[in-house]
């Protein structure tokens, strides 16, 4: 381990960054140095901008991914190497705001019915019934299921925040059936080590596969991922009458502004205000001439 790597790890841990963030930041710095074939401490903002162009043009990475890489490099230069760069010296890429994909309730039912096995079915139902993130799902423990209070404990979610989400009776039923079959010990969804089932959390790739394969089998043409079920959970709650503050707490959003995107997805809110066209008095289509010939003046 290089001296700089250890300095960065110490700085990340001193600020109590999550293990996932630590791994992604270290990986970003390693990839940055590998691209220029020079130690990171010999590089600077001009190299960061060239690297961003490479990630966009050659690697075809998304703006969100490049934003994460840029955050890691800012941390390296400003927090670890203590260089007094202004924020504009290492700019974040502009992101285009797109509304997330949401499934209808009928599509969610088809998705669940198309899962390939009991474990995948339990994972998909948990994602939709609770709105948890994919990484949170994979870290769930058997002890996190509180059937007495009918809640599911989410430990150290994004930002290191704990929260409780409701445990629906239907989800509890499938989880009990799954537990009797799998007999998990510590982690609710155990993973593999050396091709053998082990008491370790399953990888996030398994959750991704469970959802995408079920979507393909269900004939759903939308682009579906585990996060699509999180968006669907929030949107369907909003359509059923839940308020934004409650949904914010259930999703574990730090800011209410992150939750307001679902106002743009909820049919109930979209249909609450009539279009101004409805208040106009205009002739009916049957009164219009259907000829495309222009009238001479």
Task: Tell me the catalytic residues.
Answer: 133, 158, 227, 230, 253, 262
Cβ neighbours for 5, distance < 8 A, ≥ 6 positions apart: 26, 29
Nearest C-alpha neighbor of 206 from the set 147, 277, 119, 142: 119
Q: What are phi and psi of 96, to 5 degrees?
A: -85, 130
* Helix-strand-coil split of the chain, %, nearest 5: 55, 5, 35
Q: Are 182 and 174 in contact (CB under 8 A)?
A: no
Burial class (CB in 10 A: 0-12, 13-18, 19+), 100: middle
CA distance 3 to 223: 43
CA distance 144 to 205: 22
* Three-state helix/strand/coil letters over 99-168: CCCCCCHHHHHHHHHCCCCHHHHHHHHHHHHHCCCHHHHHCCEHHHEECCCCEEEECCCHHHCCEEEECC
Q: Are 187 and 142 in contact (CB under 8 A)?
A: yes
Beta partners for residue 163, in sequence order: 154
Q: How many residues make up the chain in this entry?
A: 297
Record the tokens describing residue 168, joined without a space: 């629906």
Quick one: CA dihedral 261, 265, 266, 270, positive or negative?
positive
């Amino acid at each position: 381990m290089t001296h700089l790597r250890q300095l960065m790890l110490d700085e990340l841990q001193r600020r109590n960054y999550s293990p996932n963030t630590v791994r992604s930041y270290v990986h970003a710095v390693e990839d940055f140095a590998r691209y220029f074939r020079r130690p990171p401490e010999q590089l600077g903002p001009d190299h960061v901008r060239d690297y961003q162009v490479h990630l966009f043009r050659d690697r075809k990475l998304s703006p969100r991914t490049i934003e994460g890489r840029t955050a890691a490099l800012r941390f390296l230069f400003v927090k670890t190497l203590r260089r007094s760069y202004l924020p504009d010296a290492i700019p974040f890429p502009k992101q285009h705001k797109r509304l997330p994909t949401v499934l209808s309730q009928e599509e969610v039912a088809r998705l669940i019915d198309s899962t390939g096995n009991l474990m995948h079915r339990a994972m998909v139902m948990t994602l939709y019934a609770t709105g948890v993130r994919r990484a949170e799902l994979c870290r769930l423990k058997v002890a996190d299921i509180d059937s007495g209070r009918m809640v599911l404990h989410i430990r150290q979610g994004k930002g290191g925040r704990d929260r409780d989400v409701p445990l629906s009776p239907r989800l509890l039923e499938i989880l009990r059936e799954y537990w009797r079959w799998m007999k998990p010990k510590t982690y609710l969804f155990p993973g593999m080590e050396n091709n053998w089932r082990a008491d370790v959390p399953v990888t996030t790739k398994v959750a991704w596969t469970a959802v995408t394969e079920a979507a393909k089998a269900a004939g759903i043409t939308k682009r579906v991922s585990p996060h699509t079920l999180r968006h669907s959970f929030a949107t369907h709650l909003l359509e059923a009458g839940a308020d934004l503050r409650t949904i914010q707490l259930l999703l574990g959003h730090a800011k209410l502004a992150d939750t307001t995107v679902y106002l743009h997805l909820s049919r109930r809110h979209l249909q609450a205000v009539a279009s101004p066209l409805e208040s106009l008095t205009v002739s009916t289509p049957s009164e219009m001439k259907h000829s495309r010939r222009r009238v001479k003046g």
